[in-house]
């Protein structure tokens, strides 16, 4: 518990450092905010197409489909705020040798390398849009507002973030073995975009692959599916177990990568 409190306090310090830097460079903050809003607008064209075609997927009405898109935006916002820039910096630190300094820090190295750079300009538009879309869909579809259902949705959101973290951390770690791994990172990151729509629209083979082999659909398909009562007990359990397994796997790979880096440095 003491370690958890310590790292939570550090996250607060990282956030404070970010806010102080943005107060100094406000133009940069608002420029990024505008650019991200424009990118978000282009993504929202998916929603416009859904509404205009009145598309129904596996019994899901357009309003229900927007709940999947909104959940995707929320999780993407959390990832963008906490991890996106850190994963890029992780690759660069291997190339330029700045990892040597990070290794000397008296805190968890994985925590420092993957959470130390906080960014709020990138996620703000996505988070706001996601919350509005999910709230509107929840109300329009008259979904249950019982505390258990809401808590379950939030719980699967957290698990989705853990899963996305675990999957997207692996490509940057390849830079410890290969000179460049940005291409692989972009390909794997692109897989997350499959979550913008319900996985029901994809072929059975792809659904199986994205649920049980590389469980990318757990990221933002499972939260709305849980609220809609479309997850059986077995799938609910897998949605809990898989993120834990993948996080553990990412942790093992991270430790091996650091040992390899240390052996090369020596």
Give tens-digit pLDDT for 128-178: 999 999 999 999 999 999 999 999 999 999 999 999 999 999 888 888 887
233-262 pLDDT, tens digit per residue, is 999 999 999 999 999 999 999 999 888 876
Looking at residue 179, its pLDDT comes to: 62
Tokens of 195: 């979550």
Question: Alpha-carbon torsion 22, 24, 30, 31, what sign?
Answer: negative
Q: Could you tell me how many residues make up the chain?
A: 266
Looking at residue 158, its pLDDT comes to: 96
DSSP string of the chain, one letter each residue: -HHHHHHHHHHHHHHHHHHHHHHH-HHHHHHHHHHHHHHHHHHTHHHHHHHHHT--BTTB-HHHHHHHHHHHHHHHHHHHHHTHHHHHHHHHHHHHSTHHHHHTSSS-HHHHHHHS---STTHHHHHHHHHHHHHHHHHHTT----HHHHHHHHHHHHHHHHHHHHHHHHHHHGGGTSS--HHHHHHHHHHGGGGGS-GGGS-HHHHHIIIIIS-GGGTTTHHHHHHTT---HHHHHHHHHHHHHHHHHHHHHHHHHHHHHHHHH-
* Residue 262 or residue 3, greater confidence: 3
- Please tell me the distance from the alpha carbon of residue 199 to that of residue 181, in angstroms, as a whole number: 28
Contact 168, 80 (CB under 8 A): no
Residue keyed to tokens 């020596």: 266
Mean pLDDT, all residues of the chain: 85
Closest by CA to 217, choosing from 200, 229, 234, 241, is: 200
Looking at residue 129, its pLDDT comes to: 92
Looking at residue 238, its pLDDT comes to: 96
- What is the mean pLDDT of the segment spanning 169-191? 77
Q: What percent of the chain has pLDDT over 70?
A: 93
- Please tell me the distance from the alpha carbon of residue 26 to that of residue 39, in angstroms, as a whole number: 20
Cα angle vertex 182, ends 181, 188, to 5°?
A: 95
User: Per-residue confidence at 87, pLDDT binned at 50, 70, 90?
Assistant: confident
CB atoms within 10 A of CB 265: 10
The model scores a pTM over 0.85: yes
Looking at residue 73, its pLDDT comes to: 93
């Amino acid at each position: 518990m003491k370690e958890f409190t310590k790292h939570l306090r550090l996250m607060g310090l990282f956030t404070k450092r970010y806010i102080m830097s943005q107060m100094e460079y406000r133009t940069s903050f608002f420029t990024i905010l505008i650019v991200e809003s424009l990118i978000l607008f282009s993504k929202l064209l998916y929603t416009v197409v859904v509404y205009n075609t009145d598309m129904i997927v596996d019994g899901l009405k357009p309003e229900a489909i927007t709940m999947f898109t909104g959940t995707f935006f929320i999780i993407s916002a959390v990832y963008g705020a906490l991890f996106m820039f850190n994963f890029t910096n992780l690759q660069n630190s291997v190339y330029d040798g700045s990892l040597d300094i990070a290794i000397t820090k008296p805190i968890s190295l994985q925590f420092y390398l993957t959470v130390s750079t906080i960014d709020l300009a990138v996620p703000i538009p996505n988070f706001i849009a996601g919350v509005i879309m999910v709230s509107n869909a929840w109300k329009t579809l008259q979904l249950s507002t019982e505390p258990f259902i809401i808590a379950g949705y939030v719980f699967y959101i957290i698990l989705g973030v853990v899963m996305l973290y675990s999957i997207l951390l692996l490509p940057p770690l390849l830079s410890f073995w290969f000179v460049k791994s940005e291409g692989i990172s972009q390909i794997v990151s692109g897989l997350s975009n499959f979550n913008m729509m319900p996985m029901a629209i994809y072929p059975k083979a792809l659904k199986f692959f994205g649920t049980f082999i590389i469980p990318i659909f757990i990221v933002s398909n499972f939260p709305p599916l849980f609220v809609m009562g479309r997850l059986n007990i077995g799938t609910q359990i897998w949605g809990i177990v898989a993120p834990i397994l993948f996080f553990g796997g990412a942790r093992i790979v991270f430790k091996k990568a650091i040992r390899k880096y240390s052996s090369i440095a020596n």
